[in-house]
């Protein structure tokens, strides 16, 4: 029996729900990286987070990462949020995303991602989030 989103939200008041990635395959890969502890950071284009957006990460808030089919997968807690231009992302942050072995690999994959999702500019601002895994909801199934 799968875990219900409403039940998880009830346990984590104020939590927002979100999905990693922009397709089912990428989402599953990123969730797996979080589960193994390899992925402890993520980023998105600042343009996708208007000032009053509830989706904007907040330090200390616990949010619910969903599977691509909207089942709750993980609960994470935001530990740091910073704005950084794409061209200024450090190797430390890129590697904390867990998706690539090098800063160059991170840049190439993220350039492709942003081109698919609203456009890319090397000087675009990114909302860079570091987080920790609180609960793996797949363990409850």
The pTM for the full model equals 0.93
Of the candidates 34, 130, 37, 136, the residue with the CA atom closest to the CA atom of residue 79: 130
Ranges under pLDDT 70 in the chain: 1-2, 140-141
pLDDT at position 90, please? 98
Please state, as a whole number, how many other Cβ atoms lie within 10 Å of the Cβ of residue 34: 21
pLDDT of residue 116: 97
Residue 116 sits in a domain of what CATH number?
A: 3.10.400.10
pLDDT digits (tens, 9 = 90+) for 26-64: 999 999 999 999 999 999 999 999 888 899 999 999 999
The predicted pLDDT at position 52 comes to 86
The HSE-up count of residue 1 (CA atoms within 13 Å, CB side) is 2
Task: Give residue 51's pLDDT.
Answer: 86
Range of the domain at 9: 5-140
The number of folded domains in the chain is: 1
Strands 62-66 and 41-45: unpaired
């Amino acid at each position: 029996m799968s875990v219900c989103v409403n039940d998880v939200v009830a346990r984590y008041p104020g939590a927002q729900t979100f999905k990693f990635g922009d397709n089912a395959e990428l989402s599953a890969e990123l969730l797996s990286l979080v589960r193994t502890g390899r992925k402890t950071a993520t980023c998105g284009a600042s343009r996708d987070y208007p000032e009053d957006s509830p989706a904007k990460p907040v330090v200390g808030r616990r949010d619910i990462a969903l599977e691509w089919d909207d089942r709750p997968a993980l609960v994470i807690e935001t530990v740091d949020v910073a704005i950084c231009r794409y061209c200024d992302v450090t190797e430390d942050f890129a590697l904390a995303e867990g998706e690539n072995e090098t800063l160059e690999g991170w840049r190439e994959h993220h350039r492709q991602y942003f081109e698919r999702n609203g456009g890319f500019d090397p000087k675009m601002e990114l909302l860079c989030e570091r987080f920790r895994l609180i609960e793996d909801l797949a363990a409850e199934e």
